[in-house]
């Protein structure tokens, strides 16, 4: 079985630009969560999708948005990038909402 | 609101010695507790979890953790540390019925030869 795959692995963007990060869930997993891990910090919950619907959101502004597709892959979109958005973005998938999570290796976003 | 505290930024231990990485939590409701490990420039790897049942949980790579409800703790332990155990360790909690994981800030474990 495949794990969670994220792309790209690294990305550099300019302040004010928009970015899309992608995640392929582990086979059969219908729940996906996104986390932001700033340097030296633990991961912070951004939002979660279950069967293409957002069903939980952390303390992040609306310029952080997402999608989950019928094949359960997912996107994280961030508009109007700020320098503080520089972080490792982690995607995690789960078989069901209350099961354990499998994390991807993350996308390292640098905003300059 | 749920929270996790990892009181030590770094733990140093000699290879072959036992190790403990501390974690305390605060939740309203029954906690589900997790430990993850992160190697440089990598994502999180699952080590073990406590959902219910036996307070001593055994996980991957010889790690174990003990759930203590009265002390609201879930310390990670290993009887004999390896140099390859050196990494960043995260404790996480969520409440049963909810799926959001709340992480601690992490503890760097350094095992010296």
Distance CA A101, CA B10 (A): 26
Q: Would you give the distance in Å from CA B84 to the centre of its chain?
A: 17
Top-confidence residue, B17 or B2? B17
Partner-chain residue, chosen from A41, A44, A98, that has the shortest CB–CB distance to B99 = A98
User: Do β-strands B56-58 and B44-50 pair in parallel, antiparallel, or remain unpaired?
Assistant: unpaired
SS3 for B83? helix
The residue with tokens 């992480």 is: B103
The verdict on a CB contact (< 8 Å) between A58 and B46 is no
SS3 for B104? coil
The residue with tokens 């540390």 is: B81
Which residues of chain A approach chain B closer than 8 Å at the C-beta?
4, 6, 31, 33, 35, 40-45, 48, 56, 58, 90, 92, 94, 97-98, 100-106, 108
Distance CA B49, CA B56 (A): 10
Taking the CA atoms of chain A, what radius of gyration do you get in angstroms?
13
| pLDDT at site B104 | 96
Do A43 and A26 touch, CB atoms closer than 8 A?
A: no
Q: Which of B88, B7, B30, B109 is nearest to A43 (CA)?
A: B88
Summarize pLDDT for A8-49 with one digit per residue, the tens: 999 999 999 999 999 998 888 888 999 999 998 999 999 999
Distance CA B40, CA A108 (A): 12
In the stretch 58-77 of chain B, residues with CB closer than 8 A to chain A read: none
SS3 for B28? coil
pLDDT higher than threshold 90 for residue A82: yes
Q: What is the mean pLDDT of residues A61-86?
A: 95
The C-alpha angle A50, A70, A110, rounded to 5 degrees, equals 70
The whole-chain average pLDDT of chain A stands at 91
Summarize pLDDT for B59-112 with one digit per residue, the tens: 999 999 999 999 999 999 999 999 999 999 999 998 766 668 899 999 999 999
For residue B88, give how far its alpha carbon lies from the nearest alpha carbon of chain A (Å). Answer: 10
Q: What is the mean pLDDT of residues A56-61?
A: 92
The residue with tokens 């290796």 is: A105
Do A27 and A86 touch, CB atoms closer than 8 A?
A: no
Contacts of B106 in chain A (CB under 8 A): 41-42
Distance CA B108, CA A33 (A): 25
* B39 in contact with A, Cβ within 8 Å: no
Structure tokens at B58: 């055994």
pLDDT higher than threshold 70 for residue A90: yes
Contacts of B44 in chain A (CB under 8 A): 43, 90, 92, 103
Distance CA A4, CA A29 (A): 10
| pLDDT at site B76 | 98
């Amino acid at each position: 079985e495949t794990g969670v795959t994220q792309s790209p692995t690294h990305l550099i963007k300019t302040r004010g630009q928009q970015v899309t990060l992608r995640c392929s869930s582990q086979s059969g997993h219908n729940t996906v969560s996104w986390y932001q891990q700033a340097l030296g910090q633990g991961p912070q919950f951004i939002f979660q999708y279950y069967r293409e619907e957002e069903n939980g959101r952390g303390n992040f502004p609306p310029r952080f948005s997402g999608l989950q597709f019928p094949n359960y892959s997912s996107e994280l979109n961030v508009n109007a990038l700020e320098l503080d958005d520089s972080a490792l973005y982690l995607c995690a998938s789960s078989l069901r909402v209350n099961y354990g999570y499998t994390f991807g290796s993350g996308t390292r976003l640098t905003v300059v | 609101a749920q929270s996790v505290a990892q009181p030590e930024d770094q733990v140093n231990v000699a290879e072959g010695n036992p190790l403990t990485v501390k974690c305390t939590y605060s939740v309203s409701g029954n906690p589900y507790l997790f430990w993850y490990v992160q190697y440089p420039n990598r994502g999180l790897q699952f080590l073990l979890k406590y959902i219910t049942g036996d307070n001593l949980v055994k996980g991957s790579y010889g790690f174990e953790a003990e759930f203590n409800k009265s002390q609201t703790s879930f310390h990670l332990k290993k009887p004999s540390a390896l140099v390859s155990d050196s990494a960043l360790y995260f404790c996480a909690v969520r409440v049963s019925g909810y799926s959001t994981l709340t992480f601690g800030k992490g503890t760097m474990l350094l095992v010296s030869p």
